[in-house]
Amino acid sequence: MVVGAGRGPLVERVLKAAEAAGRNVRVYAVEKNPNAVVTKEDEWGDRVEVVHCDMRYWEAPEKTDILVSELLGSFGDNELSPECLDGAQRFIKDGGISIPSSYTAYVSPLSSTKLYNEVSAYGDQEHLETPYVVKFKAIYELADPLPVWKFDHPNPEVDALANGMGNGMGQPGIPGFNEHNVRDAVASFFIKQDAVLHGIAGYFEATLYKNVMISIHPKTHSPGMFSWFPLFFPLKTPIYLPKNSILDLHFWRLCDARKVWYEWCAVPKVVGGGGDVTPLVGGASEVHNVGGRSSWIGL
């Protein structure tokens, strides 16, 4: 099954992979957007059944050996891949696989007067609390990216919830069902030189199957891949970071019954003579996008 099939490029790759492996396959191409639904039904014949439906609510006539999707955003989970695949994993047979099988979000501190000026020029809170997909050019990364959280598929916790176990919330769309996808993390960075922090870079790495990966992480970037650019999380007020200081980046992935959103803040720390690390007085940013007031993804 290809879920979120769009106009069919992944369906084409599934059929070519099956031919290369010498296997006969039956493919379900599931797509909810009527403006993007696949248009090659005549060409595919009876090998592919096109389903016009939201994968979270479709009742599949049978289970699948392989569930294929491409729902990743620049942060891995920022286009609701966890929520969509939670709803679709009930289609997978015992022992079946999901492609991708996992993805990890990364963050790093960023200095960029250009990006900060472009966002702050709007002059409102909303734009300064919204992440942007950006092809980085005039930027300086103050430290290597660090992971903040990971999602795995299929997720056994979802099966427990769907069977009325766990918190007993049952099916997608019911308030509380998505609480298992809430995340929070703190990433700590050593700042080697005096710098000004203007925002935070966001990246992802994804494992498709076993050791096959795709990545936009600068250190592991997949050669020739240009389908995703990084995310830029701005700060309302730039923060001065002294040489040999510590920077903690706090990140949250939160949800309610209708939406998913991110909150973030930066806390600089100084290292004392005895090696004690203490927050820089008055140096921390405020928490951005509280309650998803400025930016969110609708469920």
> How far apart, in whole angstroms, are the C-alpha atoms of residue 98 and residue 101?
5
Q: Please tell me the predicted confidence (pLDDT) of residue 37.
A: 74
Give the active site residues.
70, 79
pLDDT of residue 271: 81
Q: How confident is the model at residue 169 (pLDDT cuts 50, 70, 90)?
A: very low
Give the CATH number of domain 102-298; options: 3.40.50.1820, 2.60.40.10, 3.20.20.70, 2.70.160.11.
2.70.160.11
Q: What is the pLDDT of residues 35-59, one digit of tens each?
A: 877 667 778 888 999 999 989 889 9
Write the CB contacts of 156 (distance below 8 Å, at least 6 apart in sequence). Answer: none
> What tokens does 212 get?
């096959």
Instruction: Output the pTM of the full model.
Output: 0.92
Which residue, 35, 26, 27, 43, is CA-closest to 7?
35
Beta strand residue intervals within the chain, DSSP E = 2-3, 27-31, 48-52, 64-69, 92-99, 102-111, 132-133, 140-141, 146-152, 183-191, 195-209, 212-215, 231-241, 245-255, 259-271, 277-279, 297-298
**CA–CA gap between residue 199 and residue 109 (Å, rounded):** 6
Q: Are 100 and 228 in contact (CB under 8 A)?
A: no
The pLDDT of 10-34, averaged and rounded, is: 94
Overall average pLDDT of the 282-298 stretch: 95
In the numeric block, the tokens 């830029």 are attached to 232
Residue 166 has pLDDT above 60, yes or no: no
pLDDT band, residue 168 (cuts 50/70/90): very low
Mapped onto helix, strand or coil, the DSSP state of residue 230 is coil
Strand pairing class (27-31; 2-3): parallel
Query: What are the domain boundaries of the chain?
Result: 2-99, 102-298
Mean pLDDT of the chain: 91
- CATH number at 2-99: 3.40.50.150
Mean pLDDT to the nearest integer, 277-297: 91
**What digits encode the pLDDT tens for the residues 105-132?**
999 999 999 999 999 999 999 999 999 9
